[in-house]
Amino acid sequence: MSDVIIITGAGQRLGLHCALTLKQAGFQVLATYRSEKAGVQQMRDAGINCYQLDVCDTEQLSEFISHIKQHYQKLRAVIHNASDWRADAITDVSNNVSNDAAIYDAMQAVHAKAPYIINRALAPLLANSSVADIIHITDFVASVGSSKHMAYAASKSALTNLTFSFARALAPKVKVNAIAPALLMFNQDDSDAYKTKALNKSLLQLEPGANEMANCVTYLLNSRYITGKVLELDGGRPLNLP
């Protein structure tokens, strides 16, 4: 049987491309998705095992973990790609405390709490493989913050910190790393003005596409000596100074 890789939030965009790439590379891929999308059927057609899961729902998460433990004795990798992107609440709306709390809790739930629970629960299965990986997909803003997406940035920063903690806790059996992308691909409805502004933020000023993420994932899987690191996939954006 081929090595098993779990990737969360793989129904579209970067997650979808990574799941298809890993399947083509010969891995047995189990991909989770929150809601039905065209990409989910595309994965099924490619022979990927798809599992509907809202990682923020503790009961669903518990059932998913039980399913994995019942059907697999070891895992090659877990890739945490499931994500949500919510702007902070407008400060002048009524009941702002409740809005802020809901957004903050939601961001932490998907980006930090779920990976924490999954990693701890599935660590024994990862340790059963001769080589194993956990890969956290974080974000460029985890290191610089965000004025309009503070809760999101804080949750991605928490995931970055979990990278270091799990790397220490699971060594030498499991390598644990993170990938922190900035712009990789636009959405279909992004305006030309937005695209120009976004491209100008990095030194390389290009939209590299989803394959850049798949290349980084493959690089980490192939390495035997990288752990506790964050690969900054950002086109030199931190160096694009005035």
Please give the domain boundaries of the chain with CATH numbers for all domains: 4-239 (3.40.50.720)
Q: How far apart are CA 198 and CA 183, in angstroms?
A: 8
pLDDT band at 8 (very low <50, low <70, confident <90, very high): very high
Count other C-beta atoms under 10 Å from residue 26's C-beta: 8
pLDDT of residue 88: 87
Is 51 an annotated catalytic residue?
Answer: no
pLDDT digits (tens, 9 = 90+) for 148-190: 999 999 999 999 999 999 999 999 999 999 999 999 999 888 9
Exactly one of 33, 72, 116, 152 is catalytic; which is it? Answer: 152
DSSP string, 69-91: HHH-S--SEEEE------PPPPT
119-153 b/e (C-beta count within 10 Å ≥ 16 → b) = bebbbebbeebeebbbbbbbbbbbbeebeebbbbb
Burial of 237 per CB tally in 10 Å (0-12, 13-18, 19+): middle
Give the predicted TM-score (pTM) of the model: 0.95
Q: Are 7 and 15 contacting, i.e. CB atoms less than 8 angstroms apart?
A: yes
pLDDT band per the 50, 70, 90 thresholds, residue 242: confident
pLDDT category of residue 6 using cuts at 50, 70 and 90: very high
Q: Is the CA virtual torsion 121, 182, 146, 16 positive or negative?
A: negative
User: Which candidate, 34, 123, 48, 21, places its Cα nearest to that of 78?
Assistant: 123
